[in-house]
Structure 1
Amino acid sequence: MKWVSGIVYSDRRTYADRFWADGEIFAVADGMGIGKGAVAAAEKAVDLIPKFKPYNSEEKIRENFSKINRELIKELGKLEDSVLSGTTLSLLSFNERNFYIGHVGDSRIYLFRKGRLYRLTEDQVKIKGNKKVVKVLGLEWNPEVYTFSSHYEEGDLFLLASDGFVEVLSEGEIEEALSCCDLEKGAERLKNMARQKGGRKEMVFLIVKTD
C-alpha cells in the first residue's frame, strides 16, 4: 500500500489530531476536550493500535477497540484533569483482498473508486441544545463501535480524515481533488484547500492507495 498524510494545525502545544500508518493498518484519532487530556487521549489511542493487532475481522476490531477503550480510561484517569476527555478513532485495515473498518466518533473514512467518492463511516453525533456531542473512546466502558468490511480493487483510494478536515471541504471538493492528480499531488491539493478554507481549524488526513 502507498500512503501520504496531511496535517494542519495552528498551535503544536494544543494540537490533538493524530494518525497511525504502518502499511497494513491506518487510523486517525481526534482528541476531544480541553487541556492535556485531549492530546493524551489521541496519542495513547494510536500508540495502542499495534499492541492489539490484528484487525482482520469485524469481530476482532470490536474486541480490540474495547481493549483500547479500557486502556484509555485507565490512562486518562491518572491525569486528574478537571475536564472529561476522550478521542475519536477511525481505523482501516487490510488483509488479503479485503479491507476492514472500525470507527467511533465523527472522523470519516471515504473510498474513491473509478471517479466516485463513497463515505464508508457514519458520524456518531447528537445535538443537545446547541451543543454537539460526539461519541468517543475513553469516557464510557461500552462505546458503540461501527464496523464495515468489503473487497478492495487495485487502484482504490481511501481517505481517512478528522472532522476539522471534512467540516471545511465538501465531498464534491474532495472528489474533485482526488480525481485530478496522482497520490502526492492530490494530497497536497487537499492540504492547501483545507488551509485556505479552514482558518485556525486543526485537521489530519491520510490517503491510502491499494496495490
Structure 2
Amino acid sequence: MTKIALSGRTDVGLKRSNNEDIFIVRPELNFCLVADGMGGAAAGELASRFFAETALGIFSKAKKNGETELPGLVQKAFTLANKRILSHVKTDRSHEGMGCTAELLAFFSGGFVLGHMGDSRTYRFRNGKLKQLTHDHSLVQNMVDQGLISSEEARTHSHRNVILRAVGIEKNISLDLVKGKTLPGDLFLLCSDGLTDMVDDTLIREVLSSDISLPQKVEGFIDLAKLAGGFDNITVVLSQVM
C-alpha cells in the first residue's frame, strides 16, 4: 500500500463568525477530505459535518479499499451523504437549501481516486508543476469556459458564490470521479474556496515548492488567505506520497 503523509487545518477567516468548513485526514485509512457547507450558519455547518461523518464511516468499515473497490466507496460516500442531508431537510424545513461542496481523495497502491462536487478544489504538484485536477461547478466557471470573463475576473465576480453542483441539493447527484497514478513525492492540495478566492495559482505553486514541512505549508496557505482579506472560512489539506 502507498504510504501517505497528511496535514490539514481549517480557520474561520477574518470576516465570518462561524466556520462551515470541515476536513478529515486519516493516513491509516489512506484518505482525506474537505467539505464547505452552504445554506446559512447552522445548516451549512451541519451539511459539511454530515458529509464528513458519512465518508469516515464508510472508509472505517470498508473490508477492502484497493483500486477495484475505491471508486465505489467514494461514490457511496457522496450518495449516502446526499441522502442524509435531503432526509434531514424533510424533518427541518428551516434548513432547506443546505448542502456542501466536497473533495474526497483516497489512495490505493500506486494510484488515487478523487470525488469532487462544487467549487472546492484539488491540485496535484509534481516535479515542479501544478495541475488543478478538478473543474469548478460554478456559474462563473461556466462563464470562463464560454469566454465571457477571464479567470482573474471570476475571482471577484459578484456571482462567484453561485454553485451549480453540491452535495444535498438534488435527489440524484452528478459526481466528478478522477482516477490517476501516483509517483513518490506527489503532493496533493485539497482546499475550500476560502483559499483559492484569495490566493492565486502562482502563490500556491510557490508554497508547495518551498522546502518546509507539510504543516508549515498548511499554515502558510492559511496566513496568505488572511493577508489577502480572509473573507471566507479557509480549509487546507495536504497529502504527500512517500
- One fold, TM greater than 0.5? yes
Amino acid in the other structure paired with 2:90: G
| Aligned match for 1:160, one of 190, 214, 217 | 190
1:7 aligns with 10
Q: SS in structure 2 opposite 1:190? A: helix
1:184 aligns with 215
Please list, as runs of the form range in 1=range in 2, the aligned pairs for 1:7-86 lying within 5 A after superposition: 7-9=10-12, 10=14, 14-23=18-27, 24-53=30-59, 54=62, 56-81=69-94, 83-86=96-99
2:149 aligns with none
In terms of mean alpha carbon deviation, does 70-79 or 166-175 score higher?
70-79
- Counterpart CA distance in 2 for 1:77 and 1:14 is 24
Amino acid in the other structure paired with 2:19: Y
> How far does the alpha carbon of each residue in 1:7-51 deviate from its partner, in whole angstroms, 9 at most, with x for none?
221478621000111111110000011231111101111011122
| Structure-2 change in CA distance of 1:12 and 1:194 (3 Å) | closer
CA contact (8 A) 2:221 2:236 kept: no
| Structure-2 change in CA distance of 1:21 and 1:77 (3 Å) | farther
Structure 2 regions of 5+ residues with no counterpart?
Answer: 144-157
Q: SS in structure 2 opposite 1:155? A: coil
| Aligned match for 2:139, one of 111, 126, 131 | 126
Q: SS in structure 2 opposite 1:81? A: helix
Number of equivalent positions: 211
- Counterpart CA distance in 2 for 1:205 and 1:152 is 20
Is 1:93 the counterpart of 2:97 in the alignment? no
Amino acid in the other structure paired with 1:119: Q
Amino acid in the other structure paired with 2:220: R
In terms of mean alpha carbon deviation, does 95-104 or 70-79 score higher?
70-79
Structure 1 regions of 5+ residues with no counterpart?
Answer: none
| Structure-2 change in CA distance of 1:192 and 1:143 (3 Å) | same
Is 1:148 the counterpart of 2:161 in the alignment? no
> How far does the alpha carbon of each residue in 1:32-86 deviate from its partner, in whole angstroms, 9 at most, with x for none?
1123111110111101112223564334422432122111211233333165211
Q: SS in structure 1 opposite 2:231? A: coil
CA contact (8 A) 1:35 1:83 kept: no
Which structure is higher in strand share?
A: 1
CA contact (8 A) 1:34 1:83 kept: no
1:112 aligns with 125
- Counterpart CA distance in 2 for 1:73 and 1:83 is 9
- Counterpart CA distance in 2 for 1:163 and 1:174 is 13
CA contact (8 A) 1:70 1:138 kept: yes
| Percent of matched pairs sharing the same residue | 26
Q: TM-score, normalised by structure 2?
A: 0.80
1:143, CA displacement in angstroms?
Answer: 1.9
